[in-house]
Amino acid sequence: MSETIHPFDLLQQLAERCLRMASGLPAQQVVSETWSGIGFRLAGQPMVATLGEISEILHEPRYTALPRVKPWVRGVANVRGRLLPIVDLSQFFGATVSAPRKQRRVLVLDRDDLFVGLLVDELFGMQHFPVSSFTTSVPALPEQFRPYVVGAYAGEQYSMIFNFRALARDQAFLDVAI
């Protein structure tokens, strides 16, 4: 006669056999710390913003033009019941707009007393860089960006870290009236 094995004992034998035959996971040799941000293109330059500086990302909304403002101020849009000023950052920096409307995105800043939508040429989404690739000397940085760039991460190309706080303190950016 054959002996019957209790199902629990059978499961225990199976678990032990699996543990004996299993191969271990490969050990991670190098742990690299990464910095994450939101990548975008501004006036043809790859930029990245700190995650905490941008509260929302929108497609370019319909907006109403405003009289007697500088040309880089597109107008105001109604976003969920709040009036959001739309500013074209490429025009603010003196560049012509070349990106199709489908590619353009609005980065919303909602910090302290500043609530503004900044229109950029293209959005790359989340980007991750090794902390070791950070540099404060950015080669070939256009002069108009110098006050707003705090450094860059090197990769296939340099992604400059754009400081929106510096932009929000700049009187040239705040003076929108003609």
Q: Distances from the Cα of 52 to the Cαs of 26, 38, 49, 80, 121, in angstroms?
A: 35, 10, 8, 21, 21
Q: Which two tokens stand for residue 178?
A: 């003609």
Bridge-partner residues for 49, per DSSP? 38
Instruction: Give yes or no for residue 178 having a pLDDT over 80.
Output: yes
- Collapsing DSSP to helix, strand or coil, 169 comes out as helix
Give the pLDDT band of residue 39 (cuts 50, 70, 90).
Answer: very high
User: HSE-up of 103 (CA within 13 Å, CB side)?
Assistant: 13
Task: Please state, for a pLDDT cut of 70, what percent of the chain lies above it.
Answer: 98
Strand, helix or coil for residue 168: helix
For 134-177, write each residue's pLDDT tens digit: 999 887 888 999 999 999 998 778 899 999 999 999 999 999 99
With pLDDT > 90 as the criterion, what percentage of the chain qualifies? Answer: 69
DSSP string, 61-120: ---B--TTB-TTEEEEEEETTEEEEEEEHHHHTTPPP-S-TTT-EEEEEEETTEEEEEEE
**Dist CA 156 CA 81 (whole Å):** 42
Residue type, 106: V
* pLDDT computed for residue 27 by the predictor: 75
At position 108, the amino acid (one-letter code) is V
For the segment 34-63, the average pLDDT, to the nearest whole number, is: 93
The whole-number average pLDDT for the span 10-32 is: 84
**Virtual torsion, Cα 167, 84, 48, 33, nearest 10 deg:** 110
Task: Give the pLDDT confidence score for residue 41 in this predicted structure.
Answer: 94
pLDDT at 30 > cutoff 60: yes
Q: pTM to 2 decimals?
A: 0.79
Name which of 44-48, 58-62, 94-98 the model is least confident about.
Answer: 94-98
Query: What does the alpha-carbon distance between residue 118 and residue 87 come to, in Å, rounded to a whole number?
Result: 5
Where does the pLDDT of residue 2 fall: very low under 50, low under 70, confident under 90, or very high at 90 and above? low
At residue 100 the predicted structure's pLDDT band, cuts being 50, 70 and 90, is confident
Torsional sign, CA 99, 38, 78, 102: positive
Maximal CA-CA distance, the chain: 101
Decide which of 27 and 62 is more confident: 62
pLDDT at 64: 96
